[in-house]
Structure 1
Amino acid sequence: MGVKPGMMAAALALLTGCTTATVGTARLAALANPSRPASDTARDGKQKASELMAFAGIAPGQTVADMLPGGGYWTRLFSQVVGPRGKVFAVLARPSADAPASTNPIPAKAIAAGPAFHNVTAIESSFTMMSLPAKVDLFWTSRNYRDFYRQGRETARAISKAIYDNMKPGGLLVIVDHAASPQMALADQTKLGRIDPAVVKADVVAAGFLFAGESDVLANPADDHLRIIIDPAIMDHTDQFVFKFRKPR
């Protein structure tokens, strides 16, 4: 007698101790957590935080990598969703040997040092030779993938492969970025802070990933893709793609 899909889902939920309801509750609790700074909560609607976390499938107990976390907006949310059984790696670019010491605090390191985010570890790494402390369930990178192409397409491809190598079989990679016109040269795209979604998809799939879907929650058809992303006429309203890739099991 075959096992029905619903029965299988219920069995998996019992094994993991994590139902759809509890996952949704964890995400809502993370958004409502009073330890988050007001500057973060003010961004939730514009970031489409609830929708994107659901799309990424982030859940309690997961190990998550937040690549180039910036001010730590997503790092804080992920930390609270994965909870005490989960881990978050805030992956920073390793400074070059001759780089001057920074006089400004690095947000991801400050988050990792705080008692409210004890499951966060800040890691400085070469992206092309990345080796995280553990394989991850979810690799997340928001509005910075295009910067890898500033160093050339081969470097971007090498980074995609390094991400692949640091993920568990079946793990997900989610990429959010500003869309560029495919008629532009890559160098011109990155000068605008953008990247052609088709280029990203092709290079990530070439690294071994399977394309697993996309979301249009950040799409804006009125964006002509020809303006720099900090142009006041389009800033905070750019057309952004959200791609999801899966590492084969």
Structure 2
Amino acid sequence: MRVLDMGAGGGYSTELLARAVGSSGTVYAQDSQAVSPRATERFDERAKTSAMRNVVRVLRDYDDPVPPGVRDLDLITFFFAYHDTAFMSVDRARMNRGLFEALKPGGVLVVADHSAQAGAGTSVAKSLHRIEEATLRREVEAAGFRLAAEADFLRHREDPRDSIVFRPKVPVDEFVLKFVRP
């Protein structure tokens, strides 16, 4: 199995994916050159573990996140970082087309992020680190993806979605969407 982990940061989800695909799989851990030094330190420390032997670190801009020659991926994950692309001046349409093209037919894109209030779009992406689910869904589907499933295990409807996710008064409402390349 071949996987791309978008916005890998400190490598937590990358390590989980590497353990899941095993020694015969490959996980590409993408981050932009603007990744924080703290996240880089955490990733580098984690990379020393045996679980990360099958991980390839990819430092590429979000506009063009997939390394040349990497195609027919089985899975792409984008956990709690899609909203960041909204305030980083990323061409998200280009990014999403690149992700679509990198997946094999039937390949899966799983996106999880922090919910913004209805109508917020990307306006609170930097201030609250949230994105409106409908906006994200429209952007991803515009690249050719088809929504295959939604999960509610991270939903917290009691969250008014009006505060920064790092200091919540109540658990943060988060969405998980599974898209497929037809």
Measured against the shorter chain, the TM-score band is 0.7 to 0.9
1:245 aligns with 2:179: yes
Amino acid in structure 2 at the alignment position of 1:130: P
CA RMSD of aligned residues (A): 2.3
Query: Are residue 212 (structure 1) and residue 151 (structure 2) matched?
Result: no
Higher strand share: 2
Take 1:104 and 1:162, find their aligned partners in 2: how far apart are those partners? 24
- The letter of the residue matching 2:82 is Y
Task: Output the CA distance in 2 between the equivalents of 1:166 and 1:147.
Answer: 21
Identity of aligned residues (%): 29
Aligned counterpart for 2:41 among listed residues 106, 129, 139: 106
Which of residues 118, 128, 135 in structure 2 aligns to 1:182? 118
What is residue 9 of structure 2 aligned with on the other side? 70
Q: In the comparison of the two structures, how many residue pairs are matched?
A: 180
Look up the equivalent residue of 2:167 and give its one-letter code.
D
User: What TM-score do you get using the length of structure 2 for normalisation?
Assistant: 0.88
Contact 1:109–1:122 (8 Å) recurs in 2: no
The answer to which of 170-179 and 181-190 deviates more is 181-190
CA contact (8 A) 1:108 1:122 kept: no
Structure with the bigger RCO (C-alpha within 8 Å, sep 6+) is 2
Assess if the C-alpha contact under 8 Å between 1:173 and 1:246 holds in 2.
yes
Q: 1:143 to 1:131 in 2, by over 3 A?
A: closer
Residue pair 2:165, 2:172 contacting (<8 A) in 1 also: yes
Q: What SS does the corresponding residue of 2:162 show, helix, strand or coil?
A: coil
* Aligned amino acid, residue 134 of structure 1: V
Mean Cα deviation higher: 184-193 or 156-165 = 184-193
> In the alignment, which residue of structure 2 is the partner of 1:118?
53
| Letter of the 1:173 counterpart | L
Q: Deviations over 1:133-170 (max 9, x none)?
A: 52211100111111111145x72222211211221121
TM-score, normalised via structure 1 length: 0.66
Q: How is 1:165-204 mapped onto 2 (pairs within 5 angstroms)?
A: 165-184=101-120, 186-204=122-140
SS at 1:121's partner residue? strand
- For the pair shown, the structure with the greater C-alpha radius of gyration is 1
- 3-state secondary structure, aligned to 2:91: helix
